[in-house]
Amino acid sequence: MYTIRLMNEFLHGPIWIYDQDKTIRLKHSLISNDTILQNLNEEAATLYDSFYDSCLQSMLQN
């Protein structure tokens, strides 16, 4: 059994998959075999990371 969570984290897609031992699975067929889901995961990660990068750059300039 797997647990799927949606969470935003810098440099990680929003889809997190945990196995029965509560270990994070970095690669799982659920995402890698579904092109649409894989693209959405990557698109959301890129969007979130770009916001984080913008905020960090703004803080460093001040």
pTM: 0.69
Enumerate the domain spans of the chain. 3-61
Decide if 62 contacts 55 (C-beta within 8 A): no
pLDDT tens across the length of the chain (62 residues): 778 888 888 778 888 889 888 888 878 888 889 999 899 989 998 988 888 777 777 777 76
Cβ neighbors of 59 (< 8 A, separation 6 or more) are none
